[in-house]
Structure 1
Amino acid sequence: MTTTTDPLVSTDWLAAHLDDPTVRILDASFKLPGVTPLPREDFLGAHIPGSAFFDVDVISDHGLSLPHMFPSEGHFAEGVGALSVSNAHTVVIYDAGGWVAGPRAWWMFLAFGHTDVRVLDGGLQKWRAEGRAIESGEVDPVPARYTASFDQGFVRSRQQVVANLDSRAAQLVDARPQPRFEGSVPEPRAGLRSGHIPGSRNVPYAKLFDAATGTMKPLGELRAAFKDAGVDLDRPIVTTCGSGVSALVLTLALYRLGVRGTALYDGSWADWGQADGPPVASGPA
């Protein structure tokens, strides 16, 4: 099923498709380390009817020390198949609100070849504010067959980003809050240096949505946020953040603005900011 070229769907649209057998709904909520209750516990307490929980820490490469790195094709296929998702389904992803994680799962599906995927505008925050139905407790999805085909162009490695320091072929755009980008506050993950990748620009992801409603801002305001940060939408862009999650809020906004071909630095600051990592800059961009 195809709805629109816009990667977002409204709460009205989802409410009208709750019983549509061609639609699968996933809660991809995520929190920074140490924040409780855990996202899965929140899911058990309240979720959109018919949804399953997409755990970015489970559907990831467990052979790496970095958090929730992209998994193999087989692991992704096994993980989403267990959530009752097949290649034929329209996948609608939401998070708790605040846009921290839904776009990450959206980008993963696109990277693994699933183009019929959308993000719920406003997430569970807007859904509940409108008084819509919720469920609680465990769910037991019926496993489905899923085949994944990974496009490496959707992500960048540390080596590629290091090479870009000299070539400046792509613009690096960091989604972290300004104090973390400038290095004036410590990182939430222990042992990481503070600051940003040299030459990168800062578009804090929270600037791209309305905190009161949880919805993403109009296209004109999205465009202005990138322009004000010195980002040229006609040049290649790689997004980054703390650990490769909130960067995809930027990617989603860029996608809505018609920008294609962006990539994610999957390791992000959890990789770059290590004590023995590459050069670090501090202060304003």
Structure 2
Amino acid sequence: MPLTTTNPLVTTEWLAAHLDAPDVRIIDASWYLPTAQRNPKAEYDAEHIPGAMFFDIDEIADTSSPFPHMLPRPEKFSSRVRAMGIGDGTRIIVYDGAGIFSAPRVWWMFRVMGFSDVAVLDGGLKKWKAEGRPLTDERPRPSPRHFTARRNAPLVRDLSAMLHNLETCMEQVVDARTGGRFRGVEAEPRPGLARGHIPGSCNLPSSQLVNEDGTLKSHNELVRLFDDAGIDLKKPVVTTCGSGVSACILALALALIGNDQTAVYDGSWAEWGAVKGLPIES
């Protein structure tokens, strides 16, 4: 299976065949909600796909922001990924421990930073382990590469853009949180946040897009799910969620079915639900 900018997914079979390819860099982007009480870095240290580097979305972020894992400045992003041996001519494969959960966030981050040759491992570490493929606790030591981030602003929305969209309704907003959190009947995993959703947004829980083995659902199933959620695939879409992670699962799915310019609201509900005075529906 060729890896191209129009193919944002690769299979475990493809990665197994390309583990030793000199141009392939593998990233473990595992991250979990605070309620999961899991330590992704410790799990990486215990076992990971050979050659994988750990990408900490809470550190490769704007750590001065009060909101979780907001996009970092391009200079910081470039510095961190250069040290991972990622640069010109590199093909990046991102995976996570849950199957398809946090890896799409890092896939989106690279695209925001102007790097397009990046794909997500379909099924992630969950499927890789189920198939009995090799694992290691050895940490690779790549040589630094040249990487220059060039921010692709159309893939990102901030609070001001989301407020403007309330007036113009130019973009459809799709929320990846659970139905209970969207409706405001289920508590948020982060304390102090209001309950509900951005007015006018639709709900498509990201878990509905993922099979039990951690792989994304088929093209036709994805199209049906977005259609059932009331999304017109011919019109612009912005995705949102709790903190900008599962929103990227929706963005990845949309890229697979033909909309690779989907924007993500970076602050998501961690920002909207924390800022006093913003309109909220429930």
Q: Normalising TM by the smaller chain, what interval? A: over 0.9
Shift of 1:99: 1.7
CA distance, structure 2, for counterparts of residue 151 and residue 221 of structure 1? 29
CA distance, structure 2, for counterparts of residue 269 and residue 209 of structure 1? 22
CA distance, structure 2, for counterparts of residue 156 and residue 102 of structure 1? 20
CA distance, structure 1, for counterparts of residue 211 and residue 157 of structure 2? 29
Within a 5 Å distance, the mapping from 1:250-265 to structure 2 comes to 250-265=250-265
What TM-score results when the alignment is normalised by the length of structure 1?
A: 0.95
Q: 1:277 to 1:244 in 2, by over 3 A?
A: farther
What TM-score results when the alignment is normalised by the length of structure 2?
A: 0.96
Within a 5 Å distance, the mapping from 1:1-285 to structure 2 comes to 3-4=3-4, 5-211=6-212, 213-274=213-274, 276-282=276-282
RMSD, aligned α-carbons? 1.4
**Which amino acid counterpart does residue 152 of structure 1 have in structure 2?**
A
SS in 1 for 2:34: coil
Shift of 1:224: 0.5
Higher mean alpha-carbon deviation, 95-104 vs 111-120, is at 95-104
Q: Is the 8 A contact 1:239 1:263 kept in 2?
A: yes
The answer for unaligned runs of 5 or more in structure 1 is: none
CA distance, structure 1, for counterparts of residue 98 and residue 198 of structure 2? 28
The alignment of Structure 1 onto Structure 2 pairs a total of residues equal to 281
Q: Is the 8 A contact 1:2 1:90 kept in 2?
A: no
CA distance, structure 2, for counterparts of residue 214 and residue 129 of structure 1? 11
**Which amino acid counterpart does residue 203 of structure 2 have in structure 1?**
N
SS in 2 for 1:134: coil
Higher mean alpha-carbon deviation, 120-129 vs 144-153, is at 144-153
SS in 2 for 1:118: strand
Q: Is the 8 A contact 2:99 2:127 kept in 1?
A: no
Post-superposition Cα deviations, 1:128-172, rounded to whole Å, max 9, x if no partner, equal: 000000011544343322111111111011111011112100000
CA distance, structure 2, for counterparts of residue 277 and residue 49 of structure 1? 49
